[in-house]
Structure 1
Amino acid sequence: MSSQPEQTMETQQQKKKKWEMPDTYVILFSVLLLAVIATYIVPSGSFDREMMDGVERVIPGTYSGVEGNATGFMDIFLALQEGMVQSAGLIFLVLFAGGAFEIVERSGAIKGGILRAVSKTRGKEFWLIATVSVLFALGGAVGAVANSVIPFVAIGVIIARALKLDAIVAVAITFGATFAGFNVGFLNPYTVGIAQSIADIPLFSGMLLRVIAFVVIVSVTILYTWIYAKRVLRDPSKSLVGVLDESQASKEDLRAPFTARHKFILSFVGLSLLFFIFATIQFKWTINHMAAFFIIIGLVSGVIAGMNYNKVAITFLEGCQKLVYGALIIGVARAILIVMENAKILDTAVNALSVPLEGLSPVFAALGMFVANGLLNFLVPSGSGQAMIAMPILTPLADMVGITRQVAVQAYQFGDGFTNSIFPTSGPLMASLAVAGVPWIKWAKWMLPLLLIWVVIAVIMLTIGVLINWGPV
């Protein structure tokens, strides 16, 4: 007799929808609607601008009210379309880079290189952890591995199991190391490349200081990981999640060919990226050149890998397809700015932000930008999407508070990069933890001290950047 009410209650419970974190696109569209509402409330205004060394800069103290147009219903969707059009160069850069790196990954060169490093350092736990971490950090720094690190976490689990370590180490040497490199991204087209193009400074300029920061951050990350790993090796009970069962490892897990062809592919890609750095300095190459160059990298890598023409085309397009989600975010983010620009309220926002920063020293103004971008990353966990939203505001703001645009770019980069490693809104983080079977709470407990160390390094670097008037070079 009581089964029917119980079934009714179960049905009602099933109908109750659990709260889910809104998708990034939902969040951005909500921000777009807020921007539309703001066009009816926020007064329109504009700064005077002047050309200095070929770059348009805001003249501080020249803000004044102007007439602006509120956004209509159809204008909302026109802004989305126009955002895609205006961001086409950046969108195709992301897509073509994804296509090129997909070909390199499918060739087996990346996995083969990692596992060869594993075999060469077998029995030397520190050097194994350091080698794998450096490889993934370099991948993050050049944009070759970011969201695509997720499947490689499984390799990290294999390595950690072979070393009698735990799943936290597995995530640390793959995902953690990738985003340690991503934090600086000295040759990352998705973050630094986009931010610098918006800030109107030379592509991948300021690389020396970024490389130094990369070395420091990655070294600290490796040392922190090793201290924890060594503690677990000495006493497995010290593991936060329990040591992995070595009996589950397959003898085939750590076997993958690393042929002369694989070495050739990796050498070609590395030399190509170095050539691009040279070309940006010598020939003033832009984002468009880089997008085109990734097509060349993809095609040549496919030929070296022995793929036929159909395989190259299909693999390249599959790589593009994987990054459609992240690429189109750029256009949606741009739509928000189009609405604000058309209504002439973007300069009003910049002026409002500049008021609390005006009384601060340039150093503290830079640190304020860093903190603000870190908080923004909770809502917009896309590096390229955040660049599209933040840099049009940070660029004139930097001019007004007396810091260089290079410092503003790095403040954005640190704010975006650091929190990717701990915010639960980061898709790659949560997916990586799922692959390794690590609860977010356990990861956050392990990651928080390292994050604080990163923050200290960022504060020092940004301070140095302000003091030396870090410019485009």
Structure 2
Amino acid sequence: MEKTKKKFKAPDALVLIFSLLIICSILTYVVPAGEYDRYVDETTGIEMVDPESYHNVEQSPVSLWQLLMSIPKGMNESAGIINFLFIIGGAFGVLQDTGTLDALINKVVKKLKGRERLIIPFFLVFWGLGGSILGNFEECLAFVPMQIMLCLALGFDSIVGLALGLCGVCVGYMGAIMNAFTVAIAQQIAGLPVYSGMGFRLVVWTVLLITAIIYIWNYAGKIKKDPTLSLMYEEDKHSKYRDQQIDDVDFTRKHIAVLLSFLVGVGVIIYGVIVHGFYITEMGAVFIALTVVMGLLGGMGLNGTVDSFVKGAHNLLYACICVGFARALTIVMADGKMLDVIVHGVTGVLKGLPAIISAPLMFVVQAIINIIMPSGSGQAVVTMPIMVPIADVLGITRQSAVLAFQMGDGLTNLFTPTGAPLMAGLAIAGISWGKWMKWFAKLFFAWTVIAIIAMMVAVSIGYGPF
């Protein structure tokens, strides 16, 4: 009798992260600990790294107790984004229970009949600009449920719904035109005029965006023709985001009022981000107010609004746990004095190589470092003081070093399990990390090639001003 082959099942996100926690903890017993000296720059007030100060320190192995403690510590340190996720989950729970989303999606599906894929460039350009100019990343998570609901109703899958947000902001970070969290800080550290070299970054952003549009456009087209080709075919059949409406849903005055209030809330958030520097705490406050207004306009009453809010927040419980676990990885590596060891090791490979080779490698090094240090501003503070002197010695312009940083920082944001936004997005969509990587691999490779070519061009043209 022939044995049935068991199909490989990608590990759950929490299983994957906990496995990495164990591996990192073991490595703290093996890898010699080391660190750089840090100081506060008097001009900018930013904590900087002295690139010549790397030295070995006493071993700091992470015990089993410390490993377990890293998880609640990770939850505490990620409280801001966790609270934000709970709030937006609750807000969308209320929005959905008013019936507005069903009515809106029904209307959009009718309007786009035969042209369903037009939503792809729309969302990618929107999030690409948001990431590139405003530094949006976590913000896109608020719209993932709506994007997935829309994509499923249009005949696509949940991967497309998630990719419209994540790939858009990733393009924004890789080709950051005016991102205050990455480019501005990196250029400030490098001594460059803030936001200089914008024209070349705009070209990079455009090429990356077009590549993403083509990739997702082709995939969505295949799924539309044959849904069984979707990596999420079985899961999407029973998805909580699946539109169950069979009959037409009228778009009533109540729905229009709720939708208008939602759009006003989004407008307030955009204004707040641009003018007042809103981040997730301020945006969460807007969503709280918006929740009450939508519930009352939708005729749900206060008790009904609270019930829907709690149910919606519960839907993002798993995503919130993933965020805390992902943060625990960074805590373990920091406690084990491994972060600076990795930075010192990977930057060491650049020395002594010709510029045309070392410049693309500089991008690769930044991408690797981003896997263990997925904070754009934090990575800039740690790596740029090291990369700038290396660039000077190798004859690479400092502007090229900044370009390598921003592209490396952006690329692996959609790869690393330590990245809270990625793990939260996957949890919201119900997509395993393994399935995401299976879908994302070709786009990841294409973006890598584009980034390497961009670095080679930057070296060839002396991308500056210096």
Indicate the TM-score class for this superposition, using the shorter chain for normalisation.
Answer: 0.5 to 0.7
Q: Does 1:37 align with 2:26?
A: yes
Q: Encode CA deviations 1:445-465: one digit per residue, 9 max, x unaligned.
A: xx8776665555555777899
- Which residue identity lines up with residue 368 of structure 1 in the other structure? V
Q: CA deviation at 1:64?
A: 1.0
Q: Which residue pairs with 1:278 in the alignment?
A: 274
CA, structure 1 residues 334+254, in 2 after alignment: closer, same or farther (shift >3 Å)? same
- Which residue identity lines up with residue 21 of structure 1 in the other structure? A
Give, in whole Å, the separation in 1 of the partners of 2:182 and 2:76.
18
Q: CA deviation at 1:56?
A: 0.8
Give, in whole Å, the separation in 2 of the partners of 1:321 and 1:211.
40
Give, in whole Å, the separation in 2 of the partners of 1:29 and 1:230.
36
Q: Which residue pairs with 2:13 in the alignment?
A: 24
Q: Which residue pairs with 1:416 in the alignment?
A: 413
Out of 320, 323, 348, the residue aligned to residue 313 of structure 2 is 320
Q: CA deviation at 1:264?
A: 0.7
User: SS at the partner of 1:306?
Assistant: coil
Q: CA deviation at 1:401?
A: 1.3
Q: CA deviation at 1:33?
A: 1.6
Q: Which residue pairs with 2:46 in the alignment?
A: 55
User: SS at the partner of 2:142?
Assistant: coil
Which segment is superposed worse, 40-49 or 220-229? 220-229
Q: Does 1:353 align with 2:351?
A: no
Matches within 5 A, 1:89-168: 89-122=80-113, 125-126=114-115, 128-131=116-119, 134-135=122-123, 138=126, 142-146=140-144, 149-157=147-155
Q: Which residue pairs with 2:171 in the alignment?
A: 184
- Which residue identity lines up with residue 181 of structure 1 in the other structure? G
Matches within 5 A, 1:118-267: 118-122=109-113, 125-126=114-115, 128-131=116-119, 134-135=122-123, 138=126, 142-146=140-144, 149-157=147-155, 174-184=161-171, 222=213, 252=246, 255-257=249-251, 259-267=255-263
- Which residue identity lines up with residue 413 of structure 2 in the other structure? D
Q: Which residue pairs with 1:163 in the alignment?
A: none
Q: Is the 8 A contact 1:272 1:297 kept in 2?
A: no
Q: Does 1:296 align with 2:284?
A: no
Out of 363, 367, 387, the residue aligned to residue 363 of structure 2 is 367
Q: Which runs of 5+ in 2 are unaligned?
A: 131-139, 174-178, 189-193, 231-242, 389-397
Give, in whole Å, the separation in 1 of the partners of 2:455 and 2:107.
37
Q: Is the 8 A contact 1:156 1:174 kept in 2?
A: no
Q: Is the 8 A contact 2:92 2:312 kept in 1?
A: yes
User: SS at the partner of 1:367?
Assistant: helix
User: SS at the partner of 2:58?
Assistant: coil
CA RMSD of aligned residues (A): 5.2
Report the TM-score, using the length of structure 2 for normalisation: 0.65
Q: CA deviation at 1:357?
A: 3.7
Q: Is the 8 A contact 1:45 1:345 kept in 2?
A: yes
Report the TM-score, using the length of structure 1 for normalisation: 0.64
CA, structure 1 residues 222+152, in 2 after alignment: closer, same or farther (shift >3 Å)? same
Out of 297, 311, 316, the residue aligned to residue 304 of structure 2 is 311
Out of 355, 360, 374, the residue aligned to residue 387 of structure 1 is 374
Q: CA deviation at 1:63?
A: 0.4
Give, in whole Å, the separation in 2 of the partners of 1:300 and 1:212.
42
Out of 325, 335, 349, the residue aligned to residue 328 of structure 2 is 335
Q: Does 1:83 align with 2:74?
A: yes
Give, in whole Å, the separation in 1 of the partners of 2:181 and 2:320.
12
Q: Is the 8 A contact 1:346 1:393 kept in 2?
A: no
User: SS at the partner of 1:57?
Assistant: strand
- Which residue identity lines up with residue 338 of structure 1 in the other structure? I
CA, structure 1 residues 28+462, in 2 after alignment: closer, same or farther (shift >3 Å)? farther
Give, in whole Å, the separation in 1 of the partners of 2:430 and 2:322.
19
Q: Which residue pairs with 2:135 in the alignment?
A: none
How many equivalent residue pairs? 400
- Which residue identity lines up with residue 88 of structure 2 in the other structure? A
Q: Is the 8 A contact 2:91 2:312 kept in 1?
A: yes
Q: Is the 8 A contact 2:360 2:452 kept in 1?
A: no
User: SS at the partner of 2:40?
Assistant: strand
Q: Which runs of 5+ in 1 are unaligned?
A: 1-5, 158-168, 187-191, 242-248, 377-384, 434-439
- Which residue identity lines up with residue 30 of structure 1 in the other structure? S
CA, structure 1 residues 461+429, in 2 after alignment: closer, same or farther (shift >3 Å)? farther
Give, in whole Å, the separation in 2 of the partners of 1:464 and 1:293.
44
- Which residue identity lines up with residue 311 of structure 1 in the other structure? G
Give, in whole Å, the separation in 1 of the partners of 2:310 and 2:202.
32
Q: Encode CA deviations 1:232-256: one digit per residue, 9 max, x unaligned.
A: 99xx89x989xxxxxxx99946645
